[in-house]
């Protein structure tokens, strides 16, 4: 079985079960909300797909002649254009593009061994997952607790320092942050490796099932490989996670401050509940709700950050794949990667909204 | 708002405004501040910050009439000059090569002078210097970096420059890059590109996004719903990746990068302005204006528009920061800008290749981006805290 299909199953089955559970046990309002939300995702994917199509086909520039370079003869160019169906009317191409998007048929790469793009992605996509999931967890942990601390000490020194942290981390160019970490921990201290996912020698001993190396190493009980994978993960995860944490911290801080001014907090305070319990118990729980929405919106920033992080750390994920194929002018691969990103964004924001509606009973459309 | 006047947030705004004005002055007149042209090859490759080029320099006793190597030429009957060098340094080879070429010129001429120096090798720079002071040797030739290190100990000796007659490059405040350009000059000129990209794309998004948001919020209906769907999709999409796609198709140029980035930020203005318009629309004073027969365009202009200005100002400052970051990210990836332009992202991409040897090529362009982006973000942060009524103390 292809790794990508395996991952789809691992993510897909629990989500489907969750959805089914919500559907059966939920109220009518909740059911209607989820249906509407799913209904909205379809046009969103459609719009994003059309955008990709528009950018790749309608803007000036001929992908085929630039892919072949100066050695491409008119006959060769014509041949490839015919193969890709670029000579058909635009509307036919558009229809075919949307069809392929739904069925995930991306065709073959234009360069190198002309491998099917779906195969290349099934190697690359797990690497990206392995990077962005721990990075998001790191960002959430730092952001939520830092934000709550900042709000509880509002206008005192810790608040001021955490706000400066949030602003500075938000202003850091992520690729530069990665380079500085490489410089300090890789080049000067020699503590951590600065590129790749696994030590190449140990890598040969690792059997891959999902291509998420840490999971593969765990499943096969290959402890040296697991160690190597984790060590390689530290710098990229820190880069992506810390950069993301600033926005979460800011959002949590503002929301906790707003919630602390609500009547129920005043009532709780009047009952003599300690300030610490008020902040971290009562207020934080309520302030988390908008933060969950932010996760959905952060996906975009997360993926953009992943492209740069992967490039800096030579991490063989989707982002570095995109950048490699742009310079190789592999237009088929570029279009496919962007399409996959678009679908990913749409699906994650759907998932976040559904979770949101479960967490916050006030959300009913 | 008066209570906040002495608060941290006003300081954020004041400090960042001063910084922004400073950056703008540098961006408008980079030539005034930059010591060199950003493209000029002004020194050796990979010269570390504050260091000078390693060259062979001539050291003579103070008051000596010898200023260059060829001043040591004398008739063969008088004898040969003595030159002190340090063992194991390339200086001896430099002296030989230079002396030979001078000697050939002299032989071709009619002066009867020759330059065939005797080279005395010493174990250390100090011994070579002592030999010149004692008069054992006429002059010494040592490396320029050695001379700067020991200069203060030998007040009776002077340096007369490189033996080849070329100017010794350096010191450069921030060092040179892999082809010998001055990093400081490149950074100062890079301010211009960064601010052009930041301001133009933020302005374009503002001029498209704000009217669309006002109109959609005010008119409502199908138009609003369709436009919002489009904008939400665009907003959800990873901006950098969209910009990558656009610049990859359009090819590298400043105009294309500005177009690509401004598309990304239209939804930000649209969403905020539309939301505010929707809430303002329900206010009593709008109803009052409508009941006395104001035209819709007038209501929009006189009552709705002024209410959305503060949030537009906040978005604008954050937006400029984001646009500069995105622009730098694009050029770091090798997209968007022609590689010859002095740009921080391009300089960083260059530095990455030499991360093992030249730390300064990575450190300083990044700090430049951080400084400019920080100024705009800090301004946005301060303005948010000041203008957001929800955060005001009750």
Nearest CB to A183 within list B8, B241, B359: B359
- pLDDT per residue as tens digits for the range A42-96: 887 788 778 877 777 766 666 666 666 666 777 877 777 777 777 778 788 888 8
Residues of B in contact with A258 (CB under 8 A): 390-391
Give the closest-approach CA distance of A258 to chain B in angstroms: 6
Say whether residue A297 is in contact with chain B using an 8 A CB cutoff: yes
Instruction: Answer whether B187 touches A (CB < 8 Å).
Output: no
What confidence tier does B53 reach under pLDDT thresholds 50, 70, 90? confident
Give chain A's mean pLDDT.
Answer: 82
Best-predicted range by mean pLDDT among B9-18, B102-111, B320-329? Answer: B320-329
Answer whether B19 touches A (CB < 8 Å). Answer: no
What would the mean pLDDT of B153-170 be, rounded to a whole number? Answer: 78
pLDDT above 50 (res B4): no
Q: Is the pLDDT of residue B3 over 60?
A: no
| Chain B positions in Cβ-Cβ contact with residue A43 (cut-off 8 Å) | 229, 233
Q: Among B24-38, B153-167, B314-328, B351-365, where is mean pLDDT lowest?
A: B153-167
- Lowest-confidence region among B3-12, B113-122, B267-276, B377-386: B3-12
- B322 to chain A: closest CA residue: A171
Distance CA B136, CA B118 (A): 11
CB contact under 8 A, B246 and A160: no
Q: Between A and B, how many CB-CB pairs are < 8 A?
A: 153
CA distance B188 to chain A (A): 18
- Predicted confidence band at B174 (pLDDT cuts at 50, 70, 90)? confident
* pLDDT of A365: 46
Task: Give pLDDT tens digits for A187-224.
Answer: 889 898 888 888 888 877 777 777 888 888 888 888 88
Chain A, 260-279: which have a CB under 8 Å from a chain B CB? 261
Q: State the sign of the Cα–Cα–Cα–Cα dihedral A321, A326, A327, A333.
A: positive
Query: Under an 8 A CB cutoff, do A61 and B239 touch?
Result: no
Rounded Cα gap, residues B231 and A69, in angstroms? 37
| Residue A187: closest C-alpha in chain B | B356
Average pLDDT over residues B116-123: 84
pLDDT reading at A33 higher than 60: yes
3-state secondary structure chain B: CHHHCCCHHHHHHHHHHHHHHHHHHHHHCHHHHCCCCCCCECCCCCCCCCCCCCCEEEEEECCCCCCCHHHHCEECCCCCCEEEEECCCCHHHHHHHHHHHHHHHHHHCCCCEECCCEEEEECCHHHHHHHHHHCCCCEEEEEHHHHHHHHHHCCCEEEEEECCCCCCCCCCCCCECCCCEEHHHHHHHHHHHHHHHHHHHHHHHHHHHHHHHHHHHHHCHHHHHHHHHHHHHHHHCCHHHHHHHHHHHHCCCHHHHHHHHHHHHHHHHHHHHHHHHHHHHCCHHHHHHHHCCCCHHHHHHHHHHHHHHHHHHHHHHHHHHHHHHHHHHHHHCCCCCCCCCCCHHHHHHHHHHCCCCCHHHHHHHHHHHHHHHHHHHHHHHHHHHHHCHHHCCC
What is residue A188's DSSP assignment?
Answer: I
Provide the pLDDT confidence category of residue B135 given band limits of 50, 70 and 90: confident
The verdict on a CB contact (< 8 Å) between A308 and B355 is no
How much is the pLDDT for B305? 82
Q: Chain B within 8 Å of A155 (Cβ-Cβ)?
A: yes
Lowest mean pLDDT among A249-263, A291-305, A313-327, A349-363: A349-363
User: How high is the pLDDT of residue B394?
Assistant: 39
Give pLDDT, residue A263. Answer: 84
Question: Mean pLDDT, to the nearest integer, of A254-274?
Answer: 84
List the single best residue of A41, A153, A167, A171 to mutate versus B (max B Cβ within 10 A).
A171
Q: For residue A5, name the pLDDT band (cuts at 50, 70, 90).
A: low
pLDDT score of A104 more than 60:
yes
Q: Is B329 within 8 Å of A257 when comparing Cβ atoms? A: no
Q: What is the pLDDT of residue A266?
A: 85
Q: Which of B241, B335, B378 sits opposite A338 (nearest CB)?
A: B241
Across the interface, whether the CB atoms of A182 and B246 are under 8 A apart is answered: no
Of A315 and B3, the structure prediction assigns the larger pLDDT to A315
pLDDT value for A277: 84
Average pLDDT over residues B91-104: 82
Give the pLDDT of residue A67.
65
Q: What is the mean pLDDT of residues A275-282?
A: 81
Model pLDDT for residues A114-123, shown as the tens digit of each residue: 788 888 888 8
Averaged pLDDT of chain B: 84
Interchain contact, B241 vs A307, CB within 8 Å: yes
Lowest model confidence (mean pLDDT) among A75-84, A158-167, B19-28, B325-334: A75-84
**Chain A closest-CA separation from residue B44 CA (Å):** 23
pLDDT at B348 over 50: yes
Question: CB distance A341–B238 less than 8 Å?
Answer: yes
The pLDDT of residue B318 is: 87
Residue B12 predicted with pLDDT over 60: yes
- Place A178 in a pLDDT band, splitting at 50, 70 and 90: very high
| Shortest Cα distance, chain A CAs vs residue B356, angstroms | 6
**Model confidence band, residue B2 (pLDDT cutoffs 50, 70, 90):** very low
Is the pLDDT at A262 greater than 60? The verdict is yes
> Please, which pLDDT band fits residue A134 given cuts at 50, 70 and 90?
very high
Whether B355 and A182 lie within 8 Å, measured CB to CB: yes
Comparison of pLDDT for B389 and B224, the residue scoring more: B224
Confidence of residue A154 (pLDDT cuts 50, 70, 90): confident
Q: Taking CB atoms and an 8 Å cutoff, what residues of chain A touch B394?
A: 261
pLDDT in tens, B265-293: 999 899 888 888 888 888 888 888 888 88
Share of chain B above pLDDT 90, in %: 20
**Cα distance between residue B277 and residue B306, in whole Å:** 10
Residue B174 CA to residue A67 CA, distance in Å, equals 39
pLDDT of A221 reads 80
**What integer pLDDT is reported at residue A69 of this predicted model?**
66
Q: From chain B, pick out residues whose CB is under 8 angstroms from the CB of A59.
A: 246, 249-250
Who among B250, B329, B363 is closest to A175 (CB)? B329
The answer to whether B244 contacts A312, with C-beta atoms less than 8 Å apart, is no
B370-381 pLDDT, tens digit each: 999 999 988 888
- Can you tell me the distance from the alpha carbon of A246 to that of A174, in angstroms, rounded to the nearest whole number? 12
Q: Is the pLDDT of residue B1 over 50?
A: no
């Amino acid at each position: 079985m292809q790794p990508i299909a395996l991952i789809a199953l691992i993510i897909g089955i629990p989500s489907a079960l969750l959805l089914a559970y919500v559907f059966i046990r939920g109220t009518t309002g909740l059911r209607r909300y989820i249906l509407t939300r799913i209904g909205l995702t379809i046009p969103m994917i459609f719009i994003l797909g059309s955008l990709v199509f528009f950018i790749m086909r309608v803007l000036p520039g001929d992908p085929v002649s630039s892919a072949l370079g100066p050695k491409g003869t008119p006959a060769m160019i014509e041949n490839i254009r015919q193969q890709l169906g670029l000579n058909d009317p635009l509307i036919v191409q558009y229809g075919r593009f949307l069809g392929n998007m739904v069925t995930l048929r991306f065709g073959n790469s234009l360069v190198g061994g002309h491998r099917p793009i779906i195969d290349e992605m099934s190697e690359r996509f797990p690497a990206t997952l392995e990077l962005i999931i721990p990075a998001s967890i790191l960002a959430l942990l730092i952001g939520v607790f830092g934000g709550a601390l900042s709000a509880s000490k509002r206008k005192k020194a810790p608040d001021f320092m955490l706000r400066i942290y949030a602003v500075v981390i938000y202003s850091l160019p992520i690729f530069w942050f990665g380079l500085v970490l490489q410089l300090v921990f890789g080049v000067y201290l020699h503590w951590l490796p600065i590129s790749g996912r696994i030590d190449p020698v140990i890598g040969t001993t690792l059997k891959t099932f999902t291509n998420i190396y840490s999971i593969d190493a765990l499943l096969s009980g290959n402890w040296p490989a697991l160690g190597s994978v984790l060590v390689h993960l530290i710098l990229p995860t820190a880069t992506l996670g810390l950069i993301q944490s600033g926005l979460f911290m800011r959002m949590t801080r503002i929301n906790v401050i707003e919630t602390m001014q609500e009547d129920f907090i005043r009532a709780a305070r009047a009952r003599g509940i300690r300030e610490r319990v008020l902040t971290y118990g009562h207020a934080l729980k309520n302030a988390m709700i908008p933060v969950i929405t932010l996760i959905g919106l952060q996906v975009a920033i997360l993926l953009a950050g992943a492209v740069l992080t992967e490039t800096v750390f030579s991490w063989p994920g989707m982002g570095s794949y995109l950048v490699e194929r742009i310079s190789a002018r592999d237009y088929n691969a570029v279009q496919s990667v962007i399409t996959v990103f678009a679908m990913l964004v749409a699906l994650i924001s759907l998932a976040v909204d559904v979770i949101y509606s479960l967490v916050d009973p006030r959300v009913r459309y | 708002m008066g209570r906040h006047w002495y608060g941290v947030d006003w300081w954020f705004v004041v400090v960042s405004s001063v910084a922004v004005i400073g950056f703008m002055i540098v961006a408008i007149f980079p030539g005034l501040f930059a010591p060199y042209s950003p493209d000029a090859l002004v020194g050796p490759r990979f010269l570390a910050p504050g260091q000078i080029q390693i060259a062979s320099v001539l050291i003579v006793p103070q008051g000596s009439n010898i200023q260059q190597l060829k001043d040591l030429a004398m008739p063969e009957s008088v004898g040969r000059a003595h030159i002190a060098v340090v063992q194991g340094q390339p200086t001896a080879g430099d002296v030989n090569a230079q002396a030979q070429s001078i000697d050939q010129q002299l032989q071709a001429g009619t002066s009867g002078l020759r330059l065939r120096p005797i080279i005395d090798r010493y174990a250390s720079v100090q011994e070579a210097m002592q030999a010149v002071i004692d008069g054992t040797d006429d002059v010494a030739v040592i490396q320029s970096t050695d001379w700067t290190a020991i200069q203060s100990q030998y007040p009776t000796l002077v340096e007369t420059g490189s033996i080849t007659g070329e100017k010794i490059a350096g010191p450069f405040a921030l060092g040179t890059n892999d082809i010998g350009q001055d990093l400081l000059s490149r950074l100062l000129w890079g301010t211009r590109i960064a601010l052009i990209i930041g301001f133009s794309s933020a302005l374009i998004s503002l001029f498209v996004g704000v009217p669309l948001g006002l109109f959609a919020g005010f008119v409502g209906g199908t138009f609003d719903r369709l436009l919002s769907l489009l904008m939400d999709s665009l907003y959800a999409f990873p901006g950098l990746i969209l910009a990558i796609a656009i610049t990859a198709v359009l090819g590298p140029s400043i105009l294309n990068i500005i177009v690509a980035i401004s598309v990304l930020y239209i939804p930000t203005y649209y969403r905020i302005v539309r939301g505010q318009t929707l809430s303002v629309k329900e206010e009593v004073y709008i109803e009052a204006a409508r009941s006395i027969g104001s035209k819709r365009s007038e209501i929009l202009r006189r009552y709705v528009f002024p209410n959305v200005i503060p949030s537009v100002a906040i978005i604008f400052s954050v937006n400029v920061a984001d646009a500069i970051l995105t622009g730098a990210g694009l050029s770091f990836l090798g997209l968007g800008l022609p590689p010859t332009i002095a740009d921080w992202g391009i300089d960083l991409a260059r530095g990455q290749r030499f991360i093992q040897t030249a730390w300064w090529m990575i450190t300083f362009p990044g700090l430049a981006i951080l400084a400019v982006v920080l100024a705009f973000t800090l301004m946005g942060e301060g303005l948010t805290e000041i203008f957001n009524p929800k955060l005001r103390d009750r």
